[in-house]
Amino acid sequence: MNILILMGSPRLGGNTAELCKPLMGELERLGAEVCYLTLADKKIQPCRGCYACQDVAGEYGCVQKDDMEAVVERIRWADCLVLATPIYSWYCTAPMKAVLDRHYGLNKFYGSAEGSLWAGKSVAILATHGYDRAYATEPFETGVRRLCDHSGLSYLGLYSVRDEDNLASFRTAEAQEGARLFARRLMASMEARNQLRGLLDPEGRLTGFPAKRRKKVYALFYLAEKLEQGRAYTERELGQALLQWHTFSDPATLRRELYDSFFLDRDPQGRVYRLTEPQPDPRALGI
Ligand SMILES: Cc1cc2nc3c(=O)[nH]c(=O)nc-3n(C[C@H](O)[C@H](O)[C@H](O)COP(=O)(O)O)c2cc1C
């Protein structure tokens, strides 16, 4: 697995960099090849909106010749991009925003060229912020989710820690173990997508329920990722949520399998379901 960490903070030894360390260490321990690329020391001009890239087929095609070319080369190498950024004014930092805007040449949607140079890759966010998590990160996370939907990328989620005491906040056992857990989840998410290749339609829906244990567990892990952590689902709501992510209309079987494999918990009356926390690691489920 090739993982590109795009580090957007201007403070190369600051909070975000500190949180990247345990993430990177764990990814490498699990066998990933990791490239850590800082953006603040690169020359990456804002997008000019000239649309010239939209008429260049098969390559990035931006008229601006700056450090974005090297970033694009790394993006094309990666299976997964981790956008590591402090939250600045409810979004990412300016160098990262320039990179995100200049994704245009990777999507050929608006000119004579067609196709995508990055569809199918995965994206995740690692953020640090001064305000509480939801208030600080929601706008950026929403933007990234939409960019992923628009570009055919899989959004794998966010890990973030609040800056309460500068670097010390990111050196706590909790912050560091959270980053390692996030690394394990990213690896499992990518492995699930690999295992399910051929079983997902272009909208990411499961087209069949695998019979073999290994694939079945990855299918359940994949479906559980689509549900909201912490949310209480009635049986009906759960069925509706699952129906969006498979094509064979059998939410009852999926619900039972998710429960039997410890991805879902339910209240003693069997009326309300929630994702278990933490979610099981598919590799720990006997595969
Ligand atoms: C210019 C600027 C804007 C900021 N805007 C926000 C913000 O909108 N929301 C927030 O929660 N924190 C905000 N912060 C706090 C940083 O996100 C936080 O301190 C972060 O951990 C800094 O990470 P770094 O050391 O990697 O740069 C801002 C900080 C700066 C310097």
Q: Is the dihedral of CA 62, 67, 73, 78 positive or negative?
A: negative
Please tell me whether the overall predicted TM-score, pTM, comes out greater than 0.75 for this model.
yes
pLDDT of residue 282: 86
Cα 86 to middle of ligand 1, angstroms:
5
Q: Is the CB of 163 under 6 A from ligand 1?
A: yes
For the chain, domains (ranges, CATH) are 2-195 (3.40.50.360), 213-284 (1.10.10)
Number of residues in the chain: 287
What distance separates the 2 farthest-apart alpha carbons in the chain?
Answer: 63
Q: Which of 87, 97, 137, 162 to mutate to test the pocket of ligand 1 (most atoms within 8 A of CB)?
A: 87
Q: Is the CB of 136 under 6 A from ligand 1?
A: yes
pLDDT of residue 287: 63
H helices present in the chain, as ranges:
15-29, 68-77, 94-101, 133-151, 173-195, 213-225, 235-243, 251-260
| pLDDT tens over the chain, length 287 residues | 999 999 999 999 999 999 999 999 999 999 999 999 999 999 999 999 999 999 999 999 999 999 999 999 999 999 999 999 999 999 999 999 999 999 999 999 999 999 999 999 999 999 999 999 999 999 999 999 999 999 999 999 999 999 999 999 999 999 999 999 999 999 999 999 999 999 999 888 999 999 999 999 999 999 999 999 899 999 999 999 999 999 999 999 999 999 999 999 999 998 999 999 988 988 777 66
The residues pairing with 36 across neighbouring beta strands, listed in sequence order, are: 5
CA distance 248 to 239: 13
Inter-axis angle of helices 68-77 and 94-101, to 10 degrees? Answer: 70
Q: Which of 88, 92, 137, 171 to mutate to test the pocket of ligand 1 (most atoms within 8 A of CB)?
A: 88
Q: Is the CB of 112 under 6 A from ligand 1?
A: no
Cα 28 to middle of ligand 1, angstroms:
28
Cα 84 to middle of ligand 1, angstroms:
12
Cα 190 to middle of ligand 1, angstroms:
30
pLDDT of residue 286: 63
